[in-house]
Each structure stands twice: as C-alpha cells, then as structure tokens.
Structure 1
Amino acid sequence: MPMFVGVVAGAAVLALIVVVTLFKLMWRVAEPNEALIISGSKHRTEGLEEGMGFRIVTGRGTLVLPGVQAVRKLSLDLNETELSVDCVTHQGIPLKVRGVVIFKVGDDFVSIANAGRRFLDQQKLMAERVHNVFAGHLRSIVGGLTVEDMIRDREKLTGQTRAACGTEMEKLGLIVDSLQIHEIEDPTGYIKNLAMPHAAAVQRDARIAQAEANRLATEAEQASFARMAEATRDSEILQAGYQAERDKAGAKSRQAGPLADAAARQEVVVQETRVAELEAQRREQQLQADVRKPADASAYEKRTLAEAERDARISAAQAKAKETELAASAEATRVKAAAAAEAQATEARGAAAATATRATGEAEAAAARAKGLAAAEATRAQGLAEAETIKARAAALAENQEAVVAQQLAENWPQIVAAGAGAFSSVDHMVLLNGADGLSDLFAKALTMGGTGLGLARQLLASMNETSGANGTGEMEGRGGGAAAVNGFPGTAPLTQKVPVQDEEV
C-alpha cells in the first residue's frame, strides 16, 4: 500500500513536470519592441482581412502548438538610413543632398502585417529599400526647386519629400519618425558665389564694427592718457603751490625781524604825528578861547552899543522932527484961522479978499517949510547914528581884523564855493589822466579861490592899518557916504578877485 502511494505521487510529480515543460514550450511572450507573427492555422485578427493565415501578437503572451504553428518575430525598433542623393535643380545646377531618415514598423496590425509580408526574412535590407524610395522622390522634388528655395526653405523640401513618400512607406508598413536634410553640397560653387555678396557685406560690416571698436578703444586710451596727464599736471601744480607756500613762509620768517623793526618805527612815527596833531588842535582851541572869542565879544559889544546909540539918536531925531512938524502944523493952523477970521472980518470989503488969499498962501508956505526942516533934522540925526556905527565897526576891525575877516568868510563861504565851482559850468568835456587824484586837485584849486580872497582882504587891512598909523588916528572914518568897510560892512564895496577860468582838457 505505501508503495502504491509512492508510485502515484511520483506519477503525479512527473505529470506536473511534463505539463510545465509543455506549457513553457507552447507559451510565447511578445516584447514591447517586437511583434509575434504566428502562422500554421487559420486565425482571424482584428483589423485584418479574413483568411490571412497568420496571427499577430504584440505586448502579451500566447500559446503556440509546436509542430503545428510557427512563431517568428518582427522588430519594432527604430531604424535609420543615410541619404546621399545626387540631384539637379530646376536651374540645371547639380547638387548632392545629404540627410537621414529615421523610420520604424508601424504599431498597428495593418502596418505590422504589411512589413511582415515584405521584410520578415529581410529586415536587414529594410534601410536600403527605404533609401531607394527616398532617393527617387528626393530627386524628383529637387528637380522642381531652385537652389535659393532649397537654401532658404529646407522645411519645404523636407515636407514635400515626406508627403511624396508617405503612400509608399505606408504600403511597406513603415512610418517615418524624422527626415532631416543635413547638407546640400555644391560641386560647382554656385552656393558659394551666391553667398559671396552677403559674405562681403558681412565682412564689410565686421570691418566697420572692428574699426569702430578700435576707434572707441583709441578714444578711451587717449582719454585715459589725458586724465593721467591732467592728474600729473594737478599734482605738479599742487606741489609747486606747496613749494611756493614753503618759500613764502621762509621769506616771511626771514623778514619777520626787519618788518617788526619797521612796524615799531612806523608806530612811533604815527604816535608822534598824532601828538603833533593834538598839540596843533590844542593851540587852535587856545587861540579860539584867548583871541577870537574875546575879540568877537568886544566887537559884538561895541557893535551893539553903536547900534543902540544910533537907534537912540534916530528916535530922538524922529521925535524932534515930529515935534517940529506938529508945531509947524499948529502954527499953520493958527495962521490959517487968523487969516480966515481976517477974511471974514473983511468979507464985506472987496479989497480984503486979496489980503486973505495972500495970508493963506503964506501960512501954507510956512507949514511946508517947517515940514522940510523937520525931515532934514531927522535925516541928519540918522546919518550921525550910522557914522557912529561905522566908526565903532572900524575900531573893532582895527583891533581884531583876522577874527572879523574869518567870520565874514565863514558866513559867505557857500557863495565863495559856488563862485569857484562856476568856473566849470561851461566845460563840456574833461579828461583826467590821473583819476581821482586829478579830480581832487582840480576842485582844490577851485576852492582855493576863497583862500585867495582871504589873502587879499588881509593885505588890504594891513595897508589900511599902516595908513591909519601914519595919520596917527588908528581908525577909518566914513562920514558923508565916503566911509570904507570890508567884507560886507555897510558903506563898503566888496573885495573881489576875478580869476579867469578857461575850458581845458587835461
């Protein structure tokens, strides 16, 4: 019994091994890049016409009966073929077109079936067949194009070639993944000659660009050199300035001693000059206080007294004249009244009329005579008062003539300056060679005319004093309208000096 069980178990294991072995022999799996074509029995594949006699399996496994069915593989990998086709363009120019075609068997069952029928045993010849197909169509397409079209629009050449080969490739069960035209060879040099004008233009532009770049580089270099020279110049200028400052400082240090001595001496001179000016001012003020002020006071006193005396005499003379006039008027009134009475007494008598008329005339004549005497007495009194005043002024002038002349000049100084400036009123054009100094000298000369008048007045007074001393009087009398005075005093003629001024261009 146990032996039987062992035999059964061994038979079962053997059967299992046989089954597994048979299954492995019968089971086929298609890789992703291949298709299994199974022939040997009647099969129907979706998308294929009925009764083709083979089955296509892609991407999965299937059972194949050994000895009954045959299994072969069709590669779905990419393939490529080099194109090197001699062509002639529409212009008759021979060209050689080089390119590459990348193709493969289509993934659909129809393409696999078509490729299987044509290339299943000749897959290595697939690239040659494709090259022949593309070479023929490429020659035909290039024959209808010009060189310029092929150069400028290679995509057009590629598109037309693919379109022309599409139907045939489809019949072969192939699809074109890529078609590239790598190169167009021109053994005649047409393309080279065609490109020469453009190449010359490009070369020209390149040379122009290079020349412009060289110019810009040269300008930049020259500008850099100029900046370097400018920096060197500025540095040298600064160094020279610093050296000059050092030299100046050294010179100042060497001159410090002499300059200090000169400054000290100058300060001494300035102080001495200031002391002299102050001393002169002090003396001038002393003279003003000691001489001019007392002289002015004395002259003012005498002038005031003379004017008071004159006014008193004039008042007395006027009073006396008024008294005489009133007396004469009273006498005339009395005589007139007596004559009127006499005339009335003798009115009845015709002879008395002439006597009354004569008496009236005599009374009027007496009144006129009395008025004349009173006026003459008043005039005489006024003349005496003026003479006394003139005599007092002459005495004051003799005592302090300098003070009186200076006072009169000071009072009339604006008129003197105006008269001096009038010399330039008729000058139309004046040119000064020495600038402001010449103008100052010119006006100084005009103003010194007043000083000239002062000198003349002093000389005249001196001569008058000498004449008075010789006569032993020491005074100047001016009665009867012949009195003399100086610088605006009554009864005198003003002292003037005419200085001719001509228009002169300096």
Structure 2
Amino acid sequence: MVIGIAGAVVASIIVLIVLFKLMWRVAEPNEALIISGSKHGEGLGFRTVTGRGTLVLPGIQVVRRLSLDLNEAELDVECVTKQGIPVHVKGVVIFKVGDDPVSIANAARRFLDQQKAMGQRVHNVFAGHLRSIVGGLTVEDMIRDRERMTGETRAASGSEMEKLGLIIDSLQIQEILDPTGYIENLAAPHAAAVHRDARIAAAEADRAATEAEQEAAARKAEATRNSGIQQAGYQAELDTAAARAQQAGPLAQAASRQEVVVQETKVAELEAHHREQQLQADVRKPADARAYETRTKAVADRDARISAAEALARETELKTAAEANRVKVAATAEAEATRARGLASAEATRATGEAEAAAAEARGLAQAEAARALGLAEAEAIKARAAALAENQEAVVAQQLAENWPQIVKAGAEAFGNVEHMVLLNGADGMADMFAKALTMGGTGLGLARQLLATMGADGAKAEPSATGKPPVPQVIPVQQEQARS
C-alpha cells in the first residue's frame, strides 16, 4: 500500500512537471510573446510578455512570437526638386519594433502575421515624405545640406512610425543621382577653377624648383673647383717627397747589397763543398746500392718466371692427357648406354606386340562366346514362346494384350477424337459401356489379337526345317518390339 501511494505521488509529480513544461513559455531577449485567447486589461484583448516566462493554458490561449530584431529597408526614390530637376535618391532606413508595450501592441496588430512586409511598408512611408521634402529644396540645398534633408524626412516620418509601433534607429541618404547632368554641370566651374589653380601652383612650384636646382648646381661646381685646386697642391707635395725618398732608397740599397754579396759568396763556397759531400753520402752510395738490388731482383724474377713456365707446361700436359682419357671413357660409356637402350626398346616393342595380340585374341573369343550365348538365349526364348502358344494360345494373347494395353486404350480413345458433343443418359456407366463397345466393335483389342495370331501362323508356315529334321519352332515377336523396330 505504501508502495502504491509512493508510485501515485511520483506519477503526480511527473504529470505536474510535464504540464508545467507544456504551459510555460519563455520570451527570448530579441522577441515578444503575444498571448491571446482570454480577457486582459487595458482593452487590448491580448497580453504581451518580453524578457521573461509566463504560463499559457493549452487549448485556451494561443502564443505567437513577434521579433524585436533590427530590420533594414532600402530607399530608392525618384523625386523632383524645387527647380523641376528630376533626381534619384538612394538611402537606407534601419528600424525595429519599439520595446515599450504600446509599440509592441501596435506592431502586433499590424505586422504579427506579416513581419516580412515591414520593410516594404517603411519604404512606402519614407518614399512619400522624401518626395515632399525634396520638392521644397533645390539641388544645391540637397548637396550642401544633406543633414537637413535627412532630419526633415526623419521628423516627418516619426509620427507614422510610432503609429506602426516602429522606431527609427538610423536614416542615411547614401547617394543622389542626377540623370540630366545638372550636378555635373554645377560642379564644372568649380572643377575648372580648381584645375586652373592646380596648374598655376604646379608651374610656380616647378619654377622655384628649377631656380633652386640651378643655384645648387653652381654652388656644387664652385665647390668642385676649389676642391680640385687643393687636391693638386697636395699631390705636388706628395710627388716631391716621393722622388726624394726614391733617390735615397737605391743608394742605401746599393751599399747594403755590396756587403750582402760578399757574405753570400763566402756562404756559397761553403754550401758547394757541403753539397758535394752530401751528394757523396746521399746520392752515389744509395744509387750503387739500388743498382745492385735491381740486378739481384731481375735475376731472381727471371729464374722465377722460368720455373713458373716449366710448371705451367707440365700442368698443361697432364691436363691434356687427363681430358683425353676422360673423353675416351665417356665415349665408351655412351656407346654401351646406346646399345643397352636399343636392346631395351626392342624388347619392350616385342612385349607390347605380344600383349596386344593376346588381348585382341581374348577380345575376339569373348565376343564370339557372347554372340553364341545371345543366340542360344534367343533360341530358347523363341522355343519357350512357341511351346506356350501351342499349349495356351489364349494366355499368350492375353499377355500380349496386357503388355500393349496403353496403346490399345489410346487407339480406342481416338474413336472419340472427332466427337464435339455427346449426350449420355446414364452418366459414368453409360461412358464405360460406350468405351467397352468402342474397344470390342471393330476393335483394337480383337483386331490386335487377330493380327498376333495371323503373324504367328505366317511365321510358322514360313519357318524352315532345322538341321536336325525337327519341325520348325514358330517365332513370336511382340507387337511392342515390332513397333520399336519400325
């Protein structure tokens, strides 16, 4: 019982939670809930909810959502100015549904099911006021004081936008097009004056730059000249000092060279004597030793080559003898093998011929024995059939009829093949009687029996006497075998 109460409580809680989720609606930050279906205050007939949740009775109240997002309407209006000049004004209006309850209620009444049509409605409102305001302005006023045109248009459209529940976030006049070229012609004098002033200023700047460049070039040439004169003086002083230094140098070099030559002569004499002794020790004696070593090595190499040639000749002679012996042995072995293979092949051929002859003889004997046995068996069968026919002709005929009964029935049924309609008064019994009469009258059964008896009689009359002198045995051929042979 406690478990049942607890289950009921849990089920009730679950039902309440489900009902609460079905009835609870939450408005997103960028939307307003429009709840209709019950009486509300202030005579609106519906309730608006923004930024919070509320309970809704399913089936009694209906909840719809009104977007509070920003919307954009592009203005593309053809107007005529105070001067009668047609202009094309392009701009953009950014608007949204107001956040206050009155604006939300006004927008809900007008755009709840047509929120996508807001842009077109706003465009129509602004297009009418923009044409009216441009009609009281000149082209110069529109160009020089665009803020005035924007402010007047926004002020004129504000009251109507409030009635629609909309507020204007931004109004921008982006472009004023003049299909007649008035604006371009209006700007031509100013453009020409600006171009003239620009050319004059460019010419003045060019003249001043040229004068400054010429003055700078003159100063540069003067500085170059002064620098060259100073450099020439410095170079002359350098050349004089260098000549003096060049004259003093060779004299000092000659004196010092004389002393050096004397000392070098003495050193050369000592070095020549030293080289002679060094050559005796380093060249002549090692050369004599290398010559003796070379001669000794040449004699040893010659003796080694002679020994190697003699050994190679002996080795070649032994290899030749061994190869000849090997060829001789191989030829003898090949001849013996060939003779053995010939004898084996002849023996095999002879054995094969004898085996085939024996097999052919055995097959002939077997075929002859089989033919003889078959003939004896057929003769015994014919003899048995003749004896049976002589003893009990009716039984033989009955057997033949039984063996060929399907063909007999088929032949009897063909008698009804051309009958389109048949009326039988006694049902199945009448059909059996009719079929029996068809078989007996002119019938296949009696006709077949007569044919069998006639065939047996003809065969008995035409049978030839046997070699032993006994009367010939009539040959009984079944109708089925005769049909098969035909």
- TM-score w.r.t. length of structure 1: 0.46
Give 1 or 2 for the bigger CA radius of gyration. 1
Higher helix share: 2
- TM-score w.r.t. length of structure 2: 0.48
